[in-house]
Structure 1
Amino acid sequence: MVKIWIAIFVSMIWLGAVGCAEQKAAPAPSQRQVQSDSDRFFDKMKQDEQEHGTGRELGK
């Protein structure tokens, strides 16, 4: 019975140490990636406007 409690205690300490470990931050995206993502988003936004019309056109 004591072995079970020791195993539980050790497991809790190990999980606490692993759970609190500092995670590495993701590297910042390159300028090329940012430009590519923004171009793709802008093109998608323009396409959506052409397909659905703008809010100003619907209000007329």
Structure 2
Amino acid sequence: MAVRQLASLTLSDEERAELKALTTRRKTAQALALRARIVLTCAEAYSLGGMSDWRVP
């Protein structure tokens, strides 16, 4: 079975600020806020090298 490589996840300062605003704004739908938190967490882990061991099944 072939192993797929994850695409790099890099966010600009604008994108990061927009996602952060979505997570803190009171009127944002909770599902959208959760997705924004997931993307921010993954981007941070990727930039720190923590995603290097992750593989897509």
TM-score (norm 1): 0.38
TM-score (norm 2): 0.40
Higher RCO by CA contacts (8 Å cutoff, separation 6 or greater): 2
The structure whose residues are more often helix, as a share, is 1
